[in-house]
Amino acid sequence: MTEKLKGNVLIGQSGGPTCVINQSLVGIVLEALKHEEITGIYGAEYGIKGILNETFFDLGREDKATLEKVAATPCSGLGSVRKKPTGEECHRVLEIFKKYNIRYFFYIGGNDSAETAHIVADIAIAHNYEMRLFHVPKTIDNDLLVTDHCPGYGTAAKFVAMAIMGDNLDNRSIPGIKVDVIMGRHAGFLTAASSLARKYDDDAPHLIYLPERAFHVDRFLADVEEVYSRLGRVVIAVSEGISGEGGEPLYTTGEVDSHGNVQLSGTGALGDFLTNLIKTKMKTKGSLRVRSDTFGYLQRSFPGIVSEVDAREARLVGEEAVRQALSSGGNGSIALRRLNNGKDYQVEAFLTPLSSVARKTKLMPPEFIAEAGNDITEAFVSYARPLVGSLPEIGRLKGIKVAKK
């Protein structure tokens, strides 16, 4: 058995928030409280930025009721940041860890956050400072390697499915062509979740475009034309990350963050680009009603809609990170493994090396994407449905026609 390290815990949240990211935070706090080798539990304000500024909250002094309310509240309760620390900053982080006797660091975030933890872990080892650095997974994009799926995804997927259910009804009420732009920089999992909105044969989404397949304007227009001539309406789910054959986004604002990520969200530009394309290039005559919505930040922040499975698993990965940090004697990230792919959905959390998660992006596997590149497969639906949980019931009139006179 490894000897247990005595000292303080520090928790940070990084990257885009999710609706269940505070479940992981609270999972870490409540689990940490159970272990006597943990002397204090701190939270860094705004992730790595707060560490560098030494602005820490004493989470051990929060009462349980407040923590549970925060757990059920969307978006990073500690504040978050999109910042990749420089090499010099990583060295400063270690000095600060030493100064505050931080022996356990938990960084809740995506692959960028795993990379940060990994870099600092290497420096700690090089400096012979004994501590445990853990990455706790969160992302609405579901794009982390190793894990079956990421906490945060199920709830965002539920929001997307519900939004498309509603938009399908709206489009059925007043037929036209509708483009819905969904988050997901490189991975199409969230856009693919739009498929869970389908119940009736003619339900949206009628077309789904993912970043994993090159976007061809001509094929897109032909697809839209085909659905429109068949149903008299089209709802299209498009990932914000779709790109042409060359891999370049069709449209961006040109803004880039310190991880090199191009700004795709927070603008209606892609939706407007595609509606203009349809309005000007469709062969169908007459005035087409073409609209777009960009679901935007609501996908990762909307309160009151949660996948219970997702909330539970976000809590679990936080708790498991603490247990592994105390027992494994090393650093790592927590992943989820599906135990029973069939009827009874069940997962277990397990330890995976930081290097297996850091930086890399998981894309939708080919078996989840329809051959034509404009839809998903049933295999994806089976994968995603248990993560999202129940969806609202949609009623439809039988619609018995009255004989014409």
Sign of CA dihedral 147, 148, 153, 155: negative
Instruction: Indicate whether 167 belongs to the interface with a second copy (CB under 8 A).
Output: yes
- Among 41, 18, 58, residue whose Cα is nearest residue 313: 18
Q: Which parts of 178-237 interact with a second copy (CB under 8 A)?
A: 178
Terminal Cα-to-Cα distance of the chain (whole angstroms): 87
In the complex, least distance from residue 351 CB atom to a second copy, rounded to whole angstroms: 28
Q: How far is Cα 306 from Cα 259, in angstroms, rounded to an integer? A: 29
Instruction: Indicate whether 262 belongs to the interface with a second copy (CB under 8 A).
Output: no
Instruction: Indicate whether 260 belongs to the interface with a second copy (CB under 8 A).
Output: no
Q: How far is Cα 322 from Cα 35, in angstroms, rounded to an integer? A: 9
Q: How far is CA 205 from CA 29, 196, 322, 324, 342, in A?
A: 41, 9, 41, 42, 26
Active-site hit among 112, 141, 310, 375: 141
Instruction: Indicate whether 265 belongs to the interface with a second copy (CB under 8 A).
Output: yes
In the complex, least distance from residue 320 CB atom to a second copy, rounded to whole angstroms: 22
One of 2, 34, 39, 54 touching a second copy (CB under 8 A): 54
> Which CB, 61 or 343, lies closer to a second copy?
61
Interface characters, 363-402, with a second copy (x: CB under 8 A): ----------------------------xxxxxxxxxxxx
One of 27, 43, 154, 184 touching a second copy (CB under 8 A): 43
In the complex, least distance from residue 39 CB atom to a second copy, rounded to whole angstroms: 12
One of 68, 89, 148, 225 touching a second copy (CB under 8 A): 68
One of 51, 120, 133, 163 touching a second copy (CB under 8 A): 163
Q: How far is Cα 75 from Cα 18, in angstroms, rounded to an integer? A: 5
Interface characters, 300-339, with a second copy (x: CB under 8 A): xxxxxx----------------------------------
- 180 part of the active site: no
Tell me how far the alpha carbon of residue 206 is from its chain's centroid.
23
Q: Which parts of 72-91 interact with a second copy (CB under 8 A)?
A: 72-82
Instruction: Indicate whether 105 belongs to the interface with a second copy (CB under 8 A).
Output: no
Output the DSSP codes for 287-314: ---EEEEE-TTHHHH-TT---HHHHHHH
Structural contact between residues 95 and 8, judged by C-beta atoms closer than 8 angstroms: no
Instruction: Indicate whether 58 belongs to the interface with a second copy (CB under 8 A).
Output: yes
Number of neighbouring beta carbons within 10 Å of residue 268: 13
Q: What residues are annotated to the active site? A: 141
